[in-house]
């Protein structure tokens, strides 16, 4: 039951993270178009700057919960990784309540006021003459805070399960760092070589 709840939140944030990953494609095409018309046609756009920070801002803030679900945030784990998993879980549990939840609850509360003010005014950018709307970006702030809060609850439950069992529960897996993928590939190659050597010896 707890595992299903954890994986449900993981799946929600996976879907959100994957959806907002498309912002990088829009950002790439928008920036490439701006470079072309600015330097080749000498006719710069009036919206490219706003598009770049809106797309990057949306990608950055909405990927936070997804990254947390994959344990992908930067961590100074030089000592942490040497500890038993129960000790890691205990420390994480304390730190979630001391620092994480106060921060994300503040993000939701402050972000709600910030976003609703922008929505009420239908706020537009002051950086361009065409008035690119920026209120949707500001409305994402409390949404990101809620998703981070949900993922934080899932991480606390992971800590509780680890304290009980002595092992971290499995995480959903969909993307690997190149370094990790290469490491797994090398391990697979070693296993195949070992199996071949055993087969030849027999």
For 131, counting Cβ atoms within 10 Å of its Cβ (0-12 exposed, 13-18 middle, 19+ buried), the class is: middle
- 135's tokens: 């209120």
Domain membership flag for residue 67: yes
Domain membership flag for residue 196: no
From residue 197, how far is each of 8, 141, 188, 191 by CA, in Å? 44, 57, 14, 10
Overall average pLDDT of the 94-122 stretch: 95
What is the signed CA dihedral for 2, 164, 98, 83, rounded to 10 degrees?
-130
Domain count, the chain: 1
> For position 133, what pLDDT does the model report?
93
> For position 171, what pLDDT does the model report?
84
Domain membership flag for residue 201: no
- Give dist(CA 56, CA 20) in Å, integer: 10
Domain membership flag for residue 198: no
pLDDT band at 57 (very low <50, low <70, confident <90, very high): very high
Q: What number of other Cβ atoms are within 10 A of residue 20's Cβ?
A: 19
Spatial neighbors of 84 by CB under 8 A, at least 6 apart, are 166
> For position 120, what pLDDT does the model report?
95
Angle, helix 101-121 to helix 135-165, in steps of 10 degrees: 160
> For position 86, what pLDDT does the model report?
94
Domain membership flag for residue 199: no
Domain membership flag for residue 193: no
**47 and 128 Cβ atoms separated by less than 8 Å:** yes
- Give dist(CA 181, CA 189) in Å, integer: 12
Q: For the chain, how big is the Rg over CA atoms in Å?
A: 22
Using the predicted structure, report yes or no on whether residue 27 has a pLDDT greater than 80.
yes
Domain membership flag for residue 176: no
Beta bridge partners of 35: none
Domain membership flag for residue 189: no
**115 and 141 Cβ atoms separated by less than 8 Å:** yes
pLDDT in tens, 126-159: 887 888 999 999 999 999 999 999 999 999 999 9
**140 and 107 Cβ atoms separated by less than 8 Å:** no
pLDDT band at 60 (very low <50, low <70, confident <90, very high): very high
Which structural domain, as residue segments, surrounds residue 144?
Answer: 2-171
pTM recorded for the entire structure: 0.81
Query: Which is more confidently placed, 149 or 185?
Result: 149
Nearest in space to 171 (alpha carbons), one of 19, 12, 14, 7:
7
Q: What number of other Cβ atoms are within 10 A of residue 128's Cβ?
A: 15
Using the predicted structure, report yes or no on whether residue 163 has a pLDDT greater than 90.
yes
Look at 40-54, 76-90, 132-146, 182-196 and tell me which has the smallest mean pLDDT.
Answer: 182-196
pLDDT averaged over every residue in the chain? 90
Beta bridge partners of 124: 133
pLDDT in tens, 71-81: 888 877 788 88
């Amino acid at each position: 039951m707890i595992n299903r709840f954890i994986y449900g939140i993981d799946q929600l944030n996976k879907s959100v993270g994957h959806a907002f990953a498309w912002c990088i494609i829009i950002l790439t095409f928008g920036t490439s178009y701006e470079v072309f018309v600015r330097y080749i046609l000498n006719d710069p756009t009036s919206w490219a700057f706003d598009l770049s920070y809106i797309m990057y801002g949306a990608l950055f803030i909405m990927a936070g919960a997804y990254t947390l679900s994959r344990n992908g945030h930067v961590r100074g784990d030089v000592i942490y990784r040497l500890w038993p998993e129960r000790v890691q879980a205990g420390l994480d549990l304390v730190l979630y309540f001391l620092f994480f939840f106060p921060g994300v609850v503040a993000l939701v509360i402050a972000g709600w006021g910030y976003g609703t003010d922008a929505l009420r005014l239908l706020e537009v950018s002051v950086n361009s003459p065409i008035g690119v709307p920026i209120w949707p970006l500001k409305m994402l702030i409390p949404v990101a805070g809620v998703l981070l809060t949900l993922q934080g609850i899932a991480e606390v439950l992971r800590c509780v399960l680890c304290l009980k069992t002595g092992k971290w529960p499995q995480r959903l897996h969909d993307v690997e760092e190149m370094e990790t993928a290469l490491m797994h590939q090398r391990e697979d190659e070693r296993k195949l070589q070992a199996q071949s050597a055993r087969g030849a010896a027999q």
